[in-house]
């Protein structure tokens, strides 16, 4: 196997044993990027030079026996996470030249763990989308079929891992933006509990829903990444001071005696038959591991999409108000007065989907509509959360499909926002309820497209989530394939 | 028809915390533009606010001092609007669940007491400042003030005259300053006020259409602006017109208000709870802890001075006009044990000199202990009141103690009867014609003789003794 094809835990061993060096690993990854990036378009910015320099320091560290958990491991970061001195665009023209003077907390933590930064990945503009087609920097392609989308919004972070253009990556998940592209690209993707991973330095889309999480080649890597990025951050008021266990401890525990819930609302019409059958098979595997699978109900599931498309655009309309051309980023040059500058800057700087959501949110928050939309949605949201609280009284984990369909064709849904929004129908509820979720590969369609299964657990039960995901992964019998690029 | 004004005031007070409300930047006034900023108060992408607990504490103090009910859970909300001095495109403020509600302050206008209701007090962040270029058609933004903590104090529409408005403002001002939560500087904008004004026929209980007045940066301007606006509305209505709901700016130099924006242009601020901040939970214990730190308020001090020290109400007002003066006076009165005399000295000589030089009482060259000693010197008869004024001048000029000055200048009062009698004898024999006239019934000349004796003793003669001896000796 080539170095760039290895996992975090495999590379950790090789580096420590002196079987390879960080410099070699980085060269291998850069070589791979040079080889396939034209096809996937995973990256907005590739950090060849600084990654090479960091690799030299990593090798020095290893030689001195001071290796940290991620020393010498090249990781990629979604371009919505601030990196000091490195352009952070959010896939938008309005921030096309924005260079943050600070690191996001997760970036600090990765640095602190010795990781090397290989690049900033492509995404739907401001994380608004499910296909990575709305980026100002072009469309990212699914490595399994370049005619198809990789999912989104963290499409570039998913393809970078799937196409071995990095060893692991970070994305952000507001309504499924990690789990859905993970499923569509055949990798592992996790959205932690709201408050588990610091949002400081994550450019806000919908503040009450956004959460950063890892993309990895297997569940063990996911646990290793979570060990590094999880934890309380005094710079974030919604961060929660719950102790972080060593997540790798959970991996070997098995799930014998567990109760696993299958929500009936998640196996409905509209779901692709190949997806349904793969997920049903996954349920059978889980049962085979000694878990009792029971039917459960999450009665307010039908409202999730509607609630989400009130709450998220409302928060976004306010979060994106700061991009006004005054302080940083794009400013339209032809204005003679203030109002005109605002209008032109924002009209030219934002893409169609972002503008659509700003308008939706502005409307929903308007005086006279607030009670009917935002307030009502917030109330229903607490009912959705209660559904999960109730469900987790009766079961340890919930299993659902991650996405109702495998990857669709580029351009297929761009003219139909509602169809696009349905891509996240199984992932949105976890964001609304704040619970953690993970997508794990569970098979392939006849056409060779990956399918993902989603596991959910209760708040701050990432350990159990990794436990069930790992147990499933080890026994799933899903063949390990690599996309043919 | 007779009209009455209905006035409600919105006061913004900058809190005296060292750091801003949601980041660690300094709140110091007067730094070079944008020196006191960081990525958080500049609203850069991805940053998050963390609440400064001191802001909550200061707000609670003001809420308790104005008899408000503190909300156990209070929520920050975003007020959304675009302006270049507002880097996030929204101001973090409070809306549905403010810090405190349902309070009041009592004020006195022309001897009549009025209770003015306080609707709410809420916390928010200040915005920045635009600086327009004198020559070029562009503007600069200074974000130093962005994120400085403010409280907004909203009154009920209980105020009926410009005088009441000013009395209410002065009451809030002196409480804020006494609590040391705001420096009260109106020129620098740490204490600002907007007014909502309408008129209605006297006795009516419905409200007329109101206008909102802005840009009044002194108590005097508040008074003038309200007087003007009430007259303007009255003239409009009486001449058959209608008041339009709008925001009007006070123009200090012209002495008029100008329309700034109408109701149609009014903002829809799209308030919603800020998802980046969690509700502030305020426990009973915390409230009690803060309550213990609240000192006696100026209004209570005034009452105590009148009732317990026998100070006239007007004087009590002067002696409580700033926390510094109150502290100075109380210390002096305590040290000399003569509260009334001490009051006269502080109000008369001391404040007279300080005001003349525009000095704060903290800069006084005469310390309370020295002033108290001076009072004691008079009371024990060592010096006369007249000499005392001279001594005070010297104290103020040199900072020396009164006893030292009295000794150095030999100003000790002459109370030796024999010595004084000798001086009187000399005065009488030097003025034979006046003596004659006095003895023939011109009593008024008694004063002349007193003056002559005082002059001869350099003002050091004990006045009472001079009187009795003179009477005896002039009578022959």
Rounded alpha-carbon distances, angstroms, from residue A122 to A157, A206, A225, A260: 7, 19, 20, 35
**Exposure of B256 by Cβ count < 10 A (0-12 exposed, 13-18 middle, 19+ buried)?**
middle
- Cβ within 8 Å, pair A203-B46: yes
Q: Are B230 and B197 in contact (CB under 8 A)?
A: yes
- Residues from A in contact with B at Cβ < 8 Å: 81-82, 88, 90, 95, 98, 100-102, 104, 199-204, 206-208, 234-238, 314-315, 317-318, 320-324, 326-328, 338, 342, 362, 365-367, 370, 374
Active site residue A131: no
The predicted-structure confidence for B7-62, as pLDDT tens digits, reads as follows 999 999 999 999 999 999 999 988 999 999 999 999 999 999 999 999 999 999 99
Q: Which residue of B has its CA nearest to A341?
A: B84
CA atoms of B372 and B331, how far apart (whole Å): 9
Active site residue A476: no
Active site residue A14: no
Tell how far CA A362 is from the center of its chain.
26
- Cβ within 8 Å, pair B272-A102: no
Check residue B321 and give its pLDDT.
Answer: 86
List the one residue out of A57, A90, A474 whose CA is nearest residue A250: A474
Check residue A413 and give its pLDDT.
Answer: 87
Check residue B140 and give its pLDDT.
Answer: 94
Q: How many CB pairs under 8 A join A and B?
A: 102
Q: Sort out which chain B residues have CB atoms less than 8 A from A98's CB and list them.
A: 45
CATH topology of domain B417-475: Arc Repressor Mutant, subunit A (1.10.10)
Q: A141: which residues sit within 8 A by CB, 6+ positions away? A: A39, A40, A41, A147, A148, A149, A150, A159, A410
The CB density around residue B379, as the number of other CB atoms within 10 Å, is 12
- Residues from B in contact with A at Cβ < 8 Å: 39, 42-51, 78, 80, 82, 84, 87-90, 141, 268-272, 275-278
Rounded alpha-carbon distances, angstroms, from residue B293 to A237, B52, B65, B178, B201: 28, 19, 11, 12, 45
Tell how far CA B465 is from the center of its chain.
45
Domains and CATH numbers, chain A: 3-250 (3.90.1300.10)
Q: Which carries the bigger pLDDT value, residue A483 or residue B355?
A: A483
Q: Which residue of B has its CA nearest to A363?
A: B270
Rounded alpha-carbon distances, angstroms, from residue B133 to A129, A397, B145: 42, 63, 19
Given the residues A153, A172, A458, A476, the one annotated as active site? A153
Of the candidate ranges A167-181, A355-369, B52-66, B450-464, the one whose mean pLDDT is the lowest: B450-464
Check residue B266 and give its pLDDT.
Answer: 65
Q: Is 70 exceeded by the pLDDT of residue B131?
A: yes
Check residue B311 and give its pLDDT.
Answer: 87
Q: Which residue of A has its CA nearest to B82?
A: A321
Structure-block tokens of residue B340 = 């009334």
Q: Which residue of B has its CA nearest to A202?
A: B46
Quickly state the pLDDT bin for B265 (edges 50, 70, 90): low
The predicted-structure confidence for B183-193, as pLDDT tens digits, reads as follows 999 888 899 99
End-to-end Cα separation, chain A, in angstroms: 16
Check residue B376 and give its pLDDT.
Answer: 84
Check residue B434 and give its pLDDT.
Answer: 86
The predicted-structure confidence for B197-244, as pLDDT tens digits, reads as follows 999 998 888 899 999 999 898 999 999 999 999 999 999 998 988 888
Q: Which residue of B has its CA nearest to A106?
A: B46
Quickly state the pLDDT bin for A339 (edges 50, 70, 90): very high
**Helix B298-309 with B323-336: angle, nearest 10 deg:** 20
Q: What is the 3-state secondary structure (H, E, C) of chain B?
A: CCEEEEEEEEEEEECCCCECCCCCCECCCCCCCCCCCCCCCCCCCCCCCCCCHHHHHHHHHHHHHCCCEECCEECEEEEECCCCCCCCCEEEEECCCCCEEEEEEEEEECCEEEEEEEEEEEEEECCCEEEECCCCCCEEEECCCCCCEEEEEEECCCECCHHHHHHHHHHHHHHHHHCCCCCCCCCCCCEEEEEEEEEEECCCCCCCCCEEEEEECCHHHHHHHHHHHHHHHHHHHHCCCCCCCEEEEEECCCCEEEEEEECCCCCCCCCEECCCCCCEECCHHHHHHHHHCCCCCHHHHHHHHHHHHCCCHHHHHHHCCCHHHHHHHHHHHHHHCCHHHHHHHHHHHHHHHHHHCCCCHHHCCCCHHHHHHHHHHHHCCCCCHHHHHHHHHHHHHHCCCHHHHHHHCCCCCECCHHHHHHHHHHHHHHCHHHHHHHHCCCCCHHHHHHHHHHHHCCCCECHHHHHHHHHHHHHC
**Helix B162-178 with B298-309: angle, nearest 10 deg:** 90
CA atoms of A438 and A192, how far apart (whole Å): 8
Structure-block tokens of residue B412 = 């000790």
- Cβ within 8 Å, pair A208-B275: yes
Q: Sort out which chain B residues have CB atoms less than 8 A from A208's CB and list them.
A: 275
CA atoms of A67 and A470, how far apart (whole Å): 26
Q: Is 90 exceeded by the pLDDT of residue B362?
A: no
Q: Are B211 and B5 in contact (CB under 8 A)?
A: no
Q: What is the mean pLDDT of residues B284-291?
A: 96
List the one residue out of B277, B363, B369 whose CA is nearest residue B325: B363
Q: Is 90 exceeded by the pLDDT of residue B458?
A: no
**How far is the alpha carbon of B270 from chain A, nearest alpha carbon, in Å?**
5
Collapsing DSSP states into helix, strand and coil, what is residue A41? coil
Quickly state the pLDDT bin for B263 (edges 50, 70, 90): low
- Cβ within 8 Å, pair B45-A82: yes
State the ipTM, two decimals.
Answer: 0.95
Check residue B444 and give its pLDDT.
Answer: 84
Task: Kindly write down the DSSP assignment for every residue of A460-482, as one continuous string.
Answer: T-HHHHHHHHHHHHHHS------
> Choosing among A365, A366, A369, A375, which should be mutated to test the B contact, i.e. which has the most B CBs within 10 A?
A365
Domain boundaries, chain B: 3-267, 296-408, 417-475
Quickly state the pLDDT bin for A366 (edges 50, 70, 90): very high
The predicted-structure confidence for B370-425, as pLDDT tens digits, reads as follows 888 888 888 877 777 778 888 888 888 888 888 888 777 777 777 777 888 888 88
Q: B333: which residues sit within 8 A by CB, 6+ positions away? A: B309, B339, B342, B343, B372
Q: Are A199 and A232 in contact (CB under 8 A)?
A: no
CA atoms of B419 and B434, how far apart (whole Å): 23
């Amino acid at each position: 196997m080539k170095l760039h094809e290895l996992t975090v835990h495999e590379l950790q061993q090789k580096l420590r044993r002196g079987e390879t060096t960080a410099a070699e690993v980085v060269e291998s990854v850069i070589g791979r990027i040079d080889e396939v990036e034209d096809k996937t378009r995973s990256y907005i910015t590739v950090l060849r030079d600084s990654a090479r320099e960091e690799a030299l320091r990593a090798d020095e560290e290893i030689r001195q026996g001071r290796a940290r958990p991620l020393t010498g491991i090249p990781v990629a970061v979604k371009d919505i996470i601030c990196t000091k001195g490195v352009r952070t665009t959010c896939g938008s023209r309005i921030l096309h030249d924005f260079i943050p003077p600070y690191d996001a907390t997760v970036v600090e933590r990765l640095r602190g763990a010795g990781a090397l930064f290989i690049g900033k990945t492509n995404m739907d503009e401001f994380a608004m989308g499910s296909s990575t087609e709305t980026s100002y920097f072009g469309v990212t392609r699914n490595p399994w079929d370049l005619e198809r989308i990789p999912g989104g919004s963290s499409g570039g972070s998913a393809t970078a891992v799937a196409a071995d253009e990095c060893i692991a990556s970070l994305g952000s998940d507001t309504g499924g933006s990690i789990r859905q592209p993970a499923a569509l690209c055949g990798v592992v993707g996790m959205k932690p509990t709201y408050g588990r991973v610091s949002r400081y330095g994550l450019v806000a889309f919908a503040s009450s829903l956004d959460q950063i999480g890892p993309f990895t080649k297997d569940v063990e890597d996911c646990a290793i990444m979570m060990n590094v990025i999880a934890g309380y951050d005094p710079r974030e008021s919604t961060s929660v001071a719950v102790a972080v266990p060593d997540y790798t401890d959970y991996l070997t525990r098995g799930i014998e005696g567990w109760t696993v819930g299958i929500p009936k609302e998640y196996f409905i019409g509209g779901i692709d038959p190949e997806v349904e059958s793969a997920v049903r098979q996954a349920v059978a595997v889980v049962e085979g591991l000694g878990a009792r699978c029971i039917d459960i109900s999450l009665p307010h599931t039908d409202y999730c999409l509607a609630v989400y498309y009130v709450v998220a655009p409302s928060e976004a309309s306010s979060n994106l108000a700061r991009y006004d051309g005054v302080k940083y980023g794009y400013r339209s040059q032809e204005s003679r007065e203030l109002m005109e500058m605002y209008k032109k800057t924002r009209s030219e700087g934002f893409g169609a989907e972002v503008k659509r959501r700003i308008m939706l949110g502005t409307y929903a928050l308007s005086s006279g509509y607030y009670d009917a939309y935002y307030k009502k949605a917030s109330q229903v949201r607490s009912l959705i959360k209660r559904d999960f609280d109730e469900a987790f009284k009766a079961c340890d984990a919930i299993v659902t499909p991650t996405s109702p369909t495998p990857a669709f064709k580029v351009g297929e849904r761009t003219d139909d926002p509602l169809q696009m929004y349905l891509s996240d129908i199984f992932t949105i509820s976890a964001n609304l309820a704040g619970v953690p979720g993970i997508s794990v590969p569970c098979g392939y369609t006849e056409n060779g497209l990956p399918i993902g299964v989603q596991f959910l657990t209760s708040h701050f039960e990432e350990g159990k989530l990794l436990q069930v995901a790992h147990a499933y992964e080890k026994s799933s019998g899903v063949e390990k394939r690599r996309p043919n690029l | 028809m007779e009209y009455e004004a209905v006035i409600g005031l919105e006061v913004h007070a900058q809190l005296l915390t060292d750091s801003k409300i949601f980041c660690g930047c300094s709140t110091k006034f007067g730094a070079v533009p944008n020196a006191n900023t960081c990525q958080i108060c500049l609203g850069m992408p991805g940053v998050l606010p963390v609440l400064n607990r001191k802001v909550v504490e200061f707000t609670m103090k003001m809420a308790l001092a104005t008899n408000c009910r503190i909300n156990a859970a209070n929520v920050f909300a975003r007020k959304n609007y675009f302006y270049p001095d507002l880097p996030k495109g929204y101001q973090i403020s409070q809306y549905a669940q403010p810090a405190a509600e349902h309070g009041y302050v009592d004020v006195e206008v022309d001897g009549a007491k009025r209770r003015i209701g306080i609707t709410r007090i809420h916390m928010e962040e200040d915005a920045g400042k635009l600086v327009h270029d004198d020559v070029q058609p562009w503007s600069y933004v200074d974000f130093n003030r962005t994120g400085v903590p403010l409280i907004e104090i909203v009154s009920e529409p209980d105020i009926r005259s410009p005088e009441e408005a000013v009395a209410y403002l002065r009451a809030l001002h002196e409480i804020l300053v006494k609590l040391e939560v705001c420096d009260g500087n109106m020129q620098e904008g740490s204490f600002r006020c907007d007014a909502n004004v309408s008129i209605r026929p006297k006795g009516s209980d419905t409200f007329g259409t109101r206008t909102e007045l802005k840009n009044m940066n002194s108590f005097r301007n508040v008074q003038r602006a309200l007087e003007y606006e009430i007259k303007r509305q009255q003239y409009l209505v009486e001449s058959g017109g209608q008041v339009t709901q709008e925001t009007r700016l006070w123009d200090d130099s012209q002495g008029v208000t100008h329309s700034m924006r109408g109701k149609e242009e009014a903002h829809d601020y799209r308030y919603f709870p800020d998802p980046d901040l969690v509700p502030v939970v305020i426990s009973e214990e915390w409230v009690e802890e803060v309550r213990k730190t609240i000192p006696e308020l100026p209004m209570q001090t005034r009452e105590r001075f009148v009732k317990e020290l026998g100070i006239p109400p007007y004087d009590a007002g002067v002696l409580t006009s700033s926390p510094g003066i109150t502290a100075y006076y109380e210390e002096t009165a305590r040290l000399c044990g003569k509260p009334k005399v001490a009051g006269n000295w502080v109000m008369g000589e001391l404040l007279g000199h300080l005001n003349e030089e525009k000095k704060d009482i903290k800069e006084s060259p005469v310390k309370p202990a020295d002033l108290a000693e001076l009072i004691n010197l008079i009371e024990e008869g060592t010096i006369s009141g007249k000499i005392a004024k001279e001594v005070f001048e010297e104290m103020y000029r040199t900072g020396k103690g009164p006893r030292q000055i009295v000794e150095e200048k030999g100003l000790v009062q002459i109370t030796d009867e024999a010595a004084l009698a000798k001086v009187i004898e000399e005065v009488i024999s030097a003025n034979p014609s006046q003596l004659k006239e006095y003895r023939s019934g011109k009593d008024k000349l008694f004063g002349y003789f007193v003056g002559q004796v005082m002059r001869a003793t350099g003002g050091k003669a004990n006045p009472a003794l001079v009187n009795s001896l003179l009477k005896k000796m002039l009578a022959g």
